[in-house]
Each structure stands twice: as structure tokens, then as C-alpha cells.
Amino acid sequence: MIEKYTLDNGVRVIVEKIPTVRSVALGIWVGTGSRHEEAGNNGISHFTEHMLFKGTKSRSAKEIAESFDHIGGHVNAFTSKEYTCYYARILDEHAPLALDILADMFFHSTFDEEEITKERKVVIEEIKMYDDTPDDLVHDLIAKASFQNNPLGYSILGTEDVLNTFTRDTLIDYVEQRYTPSNLVITAAGNVSDQLLDSIQSYFSTFSRELKPSSGALDARDFDSTVRIRQKETEQAHLCLAFPGLEIGNEDIYSLILTNNILGGSMSSRLFQEVREQRGLAYSVFSYHSSFKDNGMFTVYAGTAPHQLEEMYKVITSTLQQLKRDGMSADELKKGKEQLKGSLMLSLESTNSRMSRLGKNELLLGKHLTLDEILERVDQVSLEHVRSTIFKVLDNKMSIALVSPFEQLPATFNQKDLLS
């Protein structure tokens, strides 16, 4: 059972008690990410995340790491386009200590100038590593092609030039403006005790900051039909095709998830079978849907030898056109539903997955569906519903991103192929 509490200062606490397990997953979720940035501070959300691990007034970076190692726990963090999360998974008996460390990091990080200088070099190496991984880089490019100068198209890591402008004051100002009670969600899943809930209230109910609005990006629903190419001497050509998707709370979201499963979400999907199994054109080929608070992006990815790029593109577009023309079969829909329900229920066996689900749902949706409610919505999806969703997504704009030795798209590429 999911329980929600709102502290006096506006901090939301979402708890799912599972007394049959011996672990607890804790998360501190801040509603800030790269889409809340501007060109002049792009990457600050991710850099701030790194710096919260670099020492507090009472613990060094090494002591933070050692504290979790000593109790056999796991601590980490990540930044996305719309939120930042600091989380830990520990044995239930060690949950009070884990909470104490996470709260210490949240409130008392020192942002030491020497540590900032060292960590800036670390993140710059992370950017370079990412740039050397073309099958990751192309997904950054497709976001830029689809959203252009909107912050949704920004890189989460930022750029070296912008990172070099960050100072201690820059980071502290950002924390004070975005790490505020109204923008904060604390989640806990597992064998959560009442004493732990009391401690959460003790740590997080007294601080006060006023949220500074972001640059207006949350009203953006635009999707640009453009092309982005990064020429690199790669062994493969890495291709992404993207289409306007659906926001996270859209009533058609389960229909689109089922469509994705059938198109490119599994080894039995149409794209995997056509591109890899039947023609041997790619080792990796898949599709995925990214849902944001107010919009989304549906993407197809595949990587192949440069001389096979045109053939692979034709096979992908032909598969998409067939899906638009004929829809999916009743057997495919049934299989997709069982696959989705199985994946959902298996994921809920992890306290960490449950904790993550609580945080994302609260920040982006503001509500929490029960498992039965979700399964009912999946079962209600019909073939006509799926067909309508396919046309809504594919019968619109398309953006293209390519990382390859080519300077431009092959002449046979036609963005209008799928839109006619």
C-alpha cells in the first residue's frame, strides 16, 4: 500500500511498506534536470549531483563511500532531463544511517573549490567518453534534432566550455533556487519502520527555500523535423529516427508502450526480426519511447556498416510503413499485453524499482496508480486504440540523427517517406 505525507514546509514523502523483505530503498528526488537549465548553465544539474558526493562539513568524500561499504549498502545518483535522484539501498537495520548520510549530503555539502576543480576534470572526461561512444552520442543528437534550442534538446552532461564557468557560488545559488521543499520528494520502499518516517520528518521538515521557476521550458510542445549529423571515423553508421511521442500522463500511453514492444522492444519484435534476424544488417536495433511531463519522443535506433546504411534505412521505413498500413494483429496485441504485464510485475519484486516508480510518478504525474489499475488499463487497449495511436505518432513529423563517416545523409533518404 502506498502512503503519502506532506510535511509542513511542502516536502512530499511517499512510502510503500513491504514488511516481508529485509531491505529498504531510499530516494531523494529533486524536480530539476537539464530541461530546467539555460544555455549558459547547461550541465549544472548533473555537476551538482556529482558535487554532493564530494564531502560535507562532517564527512569527506571517502568517508561517505566507506560508510555504505561498511554496511553492505549501495548509494548512487543520476540526473535526467526532468529530475535528479540520490538513492541508497540498504538492509532495513541500516536505513537510519543511510538516511543520515543522504540528508547530510543534501544539506551540508561544502562545494569545496579544490573538489570542484577536480570533479570538473572528471565530468569533462565523462563527456569525452560519451563522445567516443557513437551509439550513445546518436541519442543525444536525436534529442537536439527533435527539440532544437529548447532545453529538452540539451545534453544532460553539458559542455566543457560551460562547465569551466561553474564556481562554488554558481552551484550554491543553483541549489538554493531549485533544491526547495516544494520541488522535493522523499521516497522509501521496503521494510520501512515508523521510526524511519519520524527521522525523515525531523531531517526535512524545517528547511525553507522558495523555488525559482525554470526558463519556461515546461510549456514547450514543439517537435522539429530536422536532421543532425556527426561525422566520425566509426566502424558503424549509427542511425536514429524520431517522432513526436506522448506525455507521461496521456490516456494513450499504454497503447503506445504496446506498440513499441511489438515494433522494437524485444527479440521477437518486427524490427529485430526484419533487420537483424532476416537480413543480418545490424547487431543492435530497437525502438523506445521517452515520456516527459508535457510531451514525448518515439525513437528507432539501429547501427550497421556504413555501406549497408541505405538498405537498413529502407528496411526500417518499410517496417514502419507496414505498421501504419496494417496495424498490429490480435495475436501481437495479446503477446504485447502479457509481455508488458509480466515486465511490470517482475520489476515490482525490487524495492529499488518500487522506490523509483514512486519518485517519478509523484514528480511527473502527481498520482500513483495501483498495480491492478495499471493492469486494467493495459487490458482495455484495443486494436482500434492501437491503430489510432500509431497514426497519431507516425503520421506526423520525423527527425533524423546520424553518427557515421558520412558528411551527409545518403540521397535515397527521404524524411517524407513515412509521412505520406
- What is the enclosing helix (H) or strand (E) of 68? helix 61-70
DSSP 364: I
Count CA atoms closer than 13 A to 70's CA, side-chain side: 9
Q: Please, what is the end-to-end C-alpha distance for the chain in angstroms?
A: 48
Q: Are 42 and 49 in contact (CB under 8 A)?
A: no
User: What amino acid is encoded at 239 in this protein?
Assistant: L
For the record, the C-alpha cell of 65 comes out as 563511500
The helix or strand, by DSSP H or E, that contains position 78, with its residue range, turns out to be strand 74-79
Query: Coil, strand, or helix at residue 83?
Result: coil
Look up 49 and say whether it is catalytic: yes
Active-site residue among 49, 82, 115, 119? 49
Instruction: Burial-class residue 363 by CB neighbours within 10 Å (0-12, 13-18, 19+).
Output: buried
Cα distances from 196 to residues 25, 99, 188, 221, 310, in angstroms, run 12, 8, 9, 40, 58
The burial class, CB within 10 Å (0-12 / 13-18 / 19+), for 186 is buried
DSSP state string for 204-255: HSS---PPPP-SSGGG-------EEEEE---SSEEEEEEEE---TT-TTHHH
Cβ-based neighbours of 402, under 8 Å, separated by 6 or more: 138, 141, 227, 228, 229, 230, 237, 238, 239, 240, 409
From CA 200, how far away is CA 86, in angstroms rounded? 15
Find out whether 153 and 81 touch, Cβ atoms under 8 Å. Answer: no
DSSP assignment of 241-297: EEEE---TT-TTHHHHHHHHHHHHSSTTSHHIIIIIIIT---S-EEEEEEE-SS-EE
Answer whether 297's CB lies under 8 Å from 146's CB: yes
Q: Which residues participate in catalysis according to the annotation?
A: 49
